[in-house]
Amino acid sequence: MKIFGMHDEQTIRQLTDVASRAVKAALMADGHVGYVMPIGGVAAYRGHVSVVGVGFDIACGNAAIRTDVPSTALGADGDERASRIAQLADEIAATISFGMGRKNRADDAPVNDPLFEDPAWDAVPPKERQALRDKARAQLGTVGSGNHYVDVFTDDEGMLWVGVHFGSRGFGHAVASGFLALSQGKGWRERVPERETLLGIDAPIGHDYWQLMTLAGRYAYAGREWVARKVVAMMGGREVALIHNHHNFAWKEQHDGETLVVVRKGATPAFPGQHGFVGGSMGDDAVIVRGVAADPAAQPEVVERQAAALYSTVHGAGRVMSRTAAAGKRNRKTGEELEPGRVTAAMMDDWVRAKGVALRGGGRDESPHVYRRLPDVLAAQEGTIDVLTVLRPIIVVMAGANEVDPYKD
């Protein structure tokens, strides 16, 4: 069991519990408590997949596009640049849908993608199949809420990037919930406890879950790429490079000479030479990373750490404060504050303003104060990744603080 960075006792207990059923397990430096398996956790199994390990937001991930648009296209420093950045931020917020469904201006998401006719849909119970497919069509290209975002960055060469973070929305949530219920002898829509469920991938139920999980991965890729490319088009630019990774998913991989099912929950694949996009927070830099291609003879310790990490790295900076602790508690019906939060609106606004970010949406539970600092997290990965590019955010667009979305995590 390999642990990067420092973590609280509850997070370590969760990983230890997961490791008791896995062949190998690891925890990335941005880890924190999750449902059964900690966020930032990685576990390898022989012939089995963990439903709660993959999680409810199947195929949540990050995509980043490097454009051919120079930052100077937004104007020189001063009022002109600020005005253009504000206009672009407003256009993104008005065009891309955040929260539950597609309700903003964009209506050209690829809802006729071949994935909607994939045979994997047959694994959904017949009575549920059409409704779930209809929901998936309606939500394709929507970003959701919570920590999901659309960002515009500038790099050290003065070029603009677009970054997005979200997953398979209600489709993935329904698949995870449905198979969690089926594995406990209940019906597809019945609510059951969130507990470890290992499905044999050669058994009928495990085979069906794997097919739908894979389909949710295709769905998430299609949604993220459409959103990111939509924003590139708004900027009048072209795509130069795309970096795209799931971080809530399961893969069949070779480790130590055998095929294992590797579940990453809030962890980015980072095989030698593989690129990844890792975000910070609404008021911190993001990075493009690459798994180190270490020489086994010259750097045996790096090779050993990469193998122990199951060739994984962080997916973000990692929370250090819960949503409730940050924003406080309110009566859902009356809006009355029941308990104050530790982060005020002024604290969040001051941080974002000092960073020079045009923020649209976002709540105090997503303030930079609730996250670790990304450089510290990256350093704690013990030399297993290289940072190739640092991305400074200039626009961050998220769902509003009061946006209700059951598929945000």
Q: How far apart are CA 154 and CA 151, in angstroms?
A: 10
Alpha carbon dihedral 394, 400, 265, 309, in 10-degree steps, equals 20
Question: Does the CA dihedral 180-184-188-191 come out positive or negative?
Answer: negative
Q: How far apart are CA 350 and CA 311, in angstroms?
A: 38
pLDDT at 182: 97
Q: Is the dihedral of CA 183, 198, 5, 279 positive or negative?
A: negative
Chain centroid offset of residue 149 CA: 9
pLDDT tens digit at each of 409 positions of the chain:
999 999 999 999 999 999 999 999 999 999 999 999 999 999 999 999 999 999 999 999 999 999 999 999 998 878 899 999 999 999 999 999 997 777 778 889 999 999 999 999 999 999 999 999 999 999 999 999 889 999 999 999 999 999 999 999 999 999 999 999 999 999 999 999 999 989 999 999 999 999 999 999 999 999 999 999 999 999 999 999 999 999 999 999 999 999 999 999 999 999 999 999 999 999 999 999 999 999 999 999 999 999 999 999 999 999 999 888 998 887 767 767 778 889 999 999 999 999 999 999 999 999 999 999 999 999 999 999 999 999 999 999 999 876 655 554 4
For 35-78, where are the alpha helices, taking DSSP H only?
51-54
Distant-in-sequence, close-in-space partners of 60: CB < 8 Å, separation ≥ 6? 165, 166, 167, 168, 172, 220, 246, 247, 248
pLDDT of residue 409: 47
**What pLDDT, on a 0 to 100 scale, did the predictor assign at position 402?**
66
Read off the tokens for 259: 């095929």
Instruction: Tell me how far the alpha carbon of residue 189 is from its chain's centroid.
Output: 25
Coil vs helix vs strand at 183: helix
Q: pLDDT for 229-250, tens place per residue?
A: 999 999 999 999 999 999 999 9
Q: How far is CA 268 from CA 9, 25, 265, 328, in A?
A: 23, 14, 9, 31
Q: Alpha-carbon torsion 390, 392, 396, 401, what sign?
A: positive
CB burial of 282-308 (b: ≥16 within 10 Å; e: otherwise) equals bbbbbbbbbbbebeeeeeeebbebbeb
Greatest C-alpha distance within the chain: 65
Q: What is the rounded distance in angstroms from the CA atom of residue 409 to the CA atom of residue 166?
A: 9
Domain 2-397 sits in CATH at: 3.90.1860.10
In the chain, what are the domain boundaries?
A: 2-397
CA atoms within 13 A on the CB side of 62: 25
Kindly report the pTM of this predicted structure: 0.94
